[in-house]
Amino acid sequence: MKLLVVVSSLDLTQSYSATPAWWQLLKALYEIGVEVIATPYQGPAMESLWWRAEKNPARLQGEAFRSLRDIARVIMPPSTVQMTDTTSADEEATESLSDKAVRTLANTLIAPLWRRHLERILLHEPDIDAIIFLTVPLNHLNGIPRFLSETYQKPVFYFDGDVPASLPNMKGFASGFRIYQGADVSEYTAFISNSRGGEDLLKQLGVENVHTVLYGADPDVFSPVSVPTQDIDVFFYGHGREYRAEWIDSMVTAPSNELTDYHFSVRGTKLGDIGKTELLPYLSFSKLREYSCRSKINLCITRGAHTSVYGSSSSRPFELSAMGACIVANPYNGLDEWFEPEKEIIIVESPEEIIDRYTYLLKNDSEREAIGQAARERVLKEHTFQHRARDLTRIVRNYI
């Protein structure tokens, strides 16, 4: 199988949280025998051992466009709504003037460059089996998917790795694109997302064919490393309080103030008040792995969008488990289907329980180690990115 993948970004230095996951997925596709041509929507083309990179045909325009978007949002900020477990239909996101201007400019200036670019690749590579748009703003490329599928008779997929946060009724993130407003979802052969519960939500938007491919972890990348000592008692890695402020306060701030004999650390930004918790510097990916392995307890604090909609996978549970971490997580609808509570992961329900579980686990080394070992074994058995790559190729084959 040969795939042409338009990926949101291949540049790990940029603030696109899913980029490391897409590296792992594309690597896994190579490892199971799929030939991948990857072309980034944002930033430079990054060659690798696992895919052939094609240039970003609108890199300069895209960078100027992003700057213009940021300026426009200062002048005409998008409306914001505090997301709860569900958002009613009458609260569905409407485009701000800045979002509408951004979308119009993208379709006028950037979409034609992408259409010519993808045409050129397909003309020179007629053996490509399918095209996948991987978490790019689908309403910036209106008309292109239908043109490609009708002209070259190939299936065109949209893979949204941000469901449900990306959907109109969830408002997305304040810093991100509103990708569904003004888009024609019928242009795509099928949609793929990271969320089982999101399948019905996508069908409500008019998507006919919907599939799920969960996040996972590459166990060669996310593997335990030897450290001299576990000198961090409780560690959290993440950026921003958005949609998880309550659990950051309950799992980081309050216990760090109460359990003063223990060493709490975080690596992240815009987390608000973190109490008596040490803020660690970002040095490299390998340092983040070291931080996790130095920690007796690793926290998985997932945002409300994902925890409230059944089976909405995110990277962190799989990454931490692959490193053999003892994980304590906030309630997460569907998490118990990926990892067995009490054996492979600890899920806490209340502030009182958090203190009790931290104290117990920090006093029981063997139990923490057993939980971490069981979690890594579960990843190796069911949740590697090779498993996800096989899921993806099975979906694609059904449409070829």
Q: pLDDT digits over 253-263, tens only?
A: 999 999 999 99
Name the residue among 125, 112, 1, 110 with its Cα closest to residue 54: 125
pLDDT band (50, 70, 90) for residue 102: confident
Average pLDDT, the chain: 90
Looking at residues 9-24, what average pLDDT do you find? Answer: 86
Tokens 């815009």 correspond to 270
pLDDT in tens, 36-90: 999 999 999 999 999 999 999 988 765 665 555 555 545 555 544 444 433 333 4
Structure confidence by residue, pLDDT tens digits, 283-299: 777 788 999 999 999 99
Q: Per the CATH hierarchy, to which homologous superfamily does domain 232-383 belong? A: Glycogen Phosphorylase B; (3.40.50.2000)
- The Cα 152–Cα 132 span in angstroms is 14
Supply the pLDDT for residue 84.
40
Q: How many CA atoms lie within 13 A of 79 on its CB side?
A: 14
Cβ atoms of residues 91 and 169 within 8 Å? yes
CA angle 360, 363, 369 (to 5 degrees): 95
Q: Tell the burial category of 69 from Cβ atoms under 10 Å away from its Cβ (0-12, 13-18, 19+).
A: middle
Q: Place 377 in a pLDDT band, splitting at 50, 70 and 90.
A: very high
Going by pLDDT thresholds of 50, 70 and 90, the confidence category of residue 168 is confident
pLDDT of residue 101: 72
Give yes or no for residue 246 having a pLDDT over 60: yes
Using a 10 angstrom Cβ sphere, with 0-12 exposed, 13-18 middle and 19 or more buried, the burial of residue 123 is exposed
User: pLDDT band for position 16 (50/70/90)?
Assistant: low
**pLDDT of res. 279:** 95
In this prediction, residue 173 carries a pLDDT of 52
Q: How far apart are CA 190 and CA 198, in angstroms?
A: 14
Give the model's pLDDT for residue 74: 54
Q: Cα-flanking dihedrals φ and ψ of residue 365, to 5°?
A: -60, -45
Q: Which DSSP string corresponds to 234-249?
A: EEEE----TTTHHHHI
- Give the C-alpha separation, 105 to 333, whole Å: 38
Residue 98 pLDDT exceeds 50? yes
Element holding 161 (H helix, E strand): none
In CATH terms, are 2-216+386-397 and 232-383 the same topology? Answer: yes
Give the helix ranges, DSSP H, for the chain.
Answer: 19-31, 59-75, 97-105, 111-124, 144-152, 198-204, 245-248, 254-258, 285-293, 304-308, 315-322, 335-338, 351-362, 365-382, 385-397
What is the pLDDT, as a whole number, of residue 92? 40
Task: Using a pLDDT cut of 70, give the percent of the chain over it.
Answer: 88
Mean per-residue pLDDT, 159-177 = 76
- Residue of 221, 171, 217, 210 whose CA lies nearest to 314: 217
How are strands ordered across the β-sheet holding 156-160? 52-53, 35-42, 2-9, 130-134, 156-160, 190-193, 210-212
Give the domain ranges of the chain: 2-216+386-397, 232-383
Mean pLDDT of 82-102: 51
The owner of tokens 């291949």 is 10
The mean-pLDDT minimum among 102-106, 155-159, 181-185, 275-279 falls in: 102-106
The encoded tokens of residue 307 equal 């925890």
What pLDDT is recorded for position 287? Answer: 85
pLDDT given at position 195? 97
Q: How far apart (Å, rounded) are the C-alpha atoms in residues 15 and 139?
A: 21
- Residue 227 to residues 191, 290, 295, Cα–Cα distance (Å): 42, 7, 10
Domain formed by 2-216+386-397, architecture? 3-Layer(aba) Sandwich (3.40)
Percentage with pLDDT > 90 across the chain = 77
Condensed to tens digits (0 to 9), the pLDDT of residues 220-233 reads 999 999 999 999 99
- 134's CB contacts (< 8 A; 6+ apart) are 5, 6, 7, 8, 22, 159, 161
Q: Average pLDDT of 381-388?
A: 98
